Amino acid sequence: MTEPYRAAGYVAGQYPPVPYDPQLEAGLAGFLDMVERIPLRKDTILVNRDHFATIIPPVEVMIGDLPVTVEDRTVPGPEGAPEIILTIVKPRDVDLVDAPGFYCIHGGGMVLGNRYFGIAGLVGDVLRYNAVGVSVEYRLAPEHPAPAAVEDCYAGLVWMSEHAAELGLDPTKIIVTGASAGGGLSAGVSLLARDRGGPHIAGQMLMCPMLDDRNTSVSTRQYDLRGAWDRNNNDCAWDAILGESRGTDQVGPYQVPARMTDLSNLPPAFIDVGAAEIFRDEATEYALRIWATGGQAELHVWAGGYHGFAGFSPDAEVSRSAEATRLSWLRRILPDT
């Protein structure tokens, strides 16, 4: 299914890319060397998954001597589906009462990764806000196509909210957060919570989110065979997630939030994306559509930023600005913490 998407209105060289911030170029090279050594294609998903597992350190190594406790809990999954595993992170030796919560959904295109991918950032927020952090293990495509991932993520959020007193958190102060595929799934979970009358979400933090299966925007064409998580990787992932329904009216809007026709009455959204990556345009469009309903969205498009730039180039000036801006939004969403 990839070739029709690549061919739709595409003319080689028609869309020159936005240049990268010079301070980010070394981090981008490191990202490509560490993460994307093997092109992600239908026949390399499993090889990439094995490689991906080697670059995610054991959770004990990532935690080190930081003052947190880490617990795995097996909880009910979606109705009729297997149980799911949640990793719960709390500040050590702190008696939490009505604490804020961070529900973290990992990236990896919904075909790679596990609940420990990105957990270092979750630990940072747990310590910064004396919060409860929960990271969910969801089923991956193509073995488990849509809507398995978003339904698993929603089931974990329901459990977190229903067990708020046990966890020491305030169920009205839960932030749903994720990067890349995790950002897209965070948007999907927020839509499900709205439409099912589910858990209260104080805010949705959508970092470089993967929102649209169609892969036809200008920004996707600017980063075809170029940069981190390029247009071809995105094609491969969406093919795996959606199969033959991709590009049709049969695509579910919870797994593909850009397909949702009504973006009203959603939790406040923080949308953060680089100007030099494929998800720039769909992230911007998502914010515009939330605003069109009178909803709250805060959009930041960072000049010269590649996909996931803040994580791999943390010392660059634009990365420091992005992190400060994220924390500013959290202080406004969680003013009493």
Please check the confidence at residue 6 and state whether its pLDDT lies above 60.
no
What the block records as the tokens of 76 is 């009910």
Report the distance separating Cα 277 and Cα 45, nearest Å: 22
Average pLDDT over residues 18-30: 97
Write the Ramachandran bin of 249: left for phi over 0, alpha for psi from -120 to 50, otherwise beta.
Answer: alpha
Distance of CA 46 to the CA centre of its chain: 21
Structural domain of 288: 2-333
pLDDT of residue 188: 98
Please check the confidence at residue 138 and state whether its pLDDT lies above 90.
yes
Please check the confidence at residue 131 and state whether its pLDDT lies above 50.
yes
Average pLDDT over residues 207-222: 97
Report the distance separating Cα 31 and Cα 229, nearest Å: 10
> Which residue pairs from 57-61 have beta carbons closer than 8 angstroms and sit at least 24 positions apart in sequence?
57/116, 58/116, 59/87, 59/116, 59/119
pLDDT digits (tens, 9 = 90+) for 219-268: 999 999 999 999 999 999 999 999 999 999 999 999 999 999 999 999 99
Work out the angle at residue 223's Cα, subtended by the Cα atoms of residues 116 and 107, and round it to the nearest 5 degrees.
10
pLDDT of residue 336: 80
Please check the confidence at residue 4 and state whether its pLDDT lies above 60.
no
Please check the confidence at residue 5 and state whether its pLDDT lies above 50.
no
User: Residues in the chain, how many?
Assistant: 337
pLDDT of residue 12: 54
Helix or strand run (H / E) with residue 271: strand 269-274
Neighbours of 155 (CB within 10 A): 23
Please check the confidence at residue 325 and state whether its pLDDT lies above 50.
yes
Q: At 236, which CATH number? A: 3.40.50.1820
What is the per-residue burial (b if ≥16 Cβ within 10 Å, else e) of 274-285? bbbbbbbbbbbe
**Count of domains for the chain:** 1
pLDDT of residue 220: 97
Q: Name the pLDDT band for 14 (thresholds 50, 70, 90).
A: confident
pLDDT digits (tens, 9 = 90+) for 47-94: 999 999 999 999 999 999 999 999 999 999 999 999 999 999 999 999
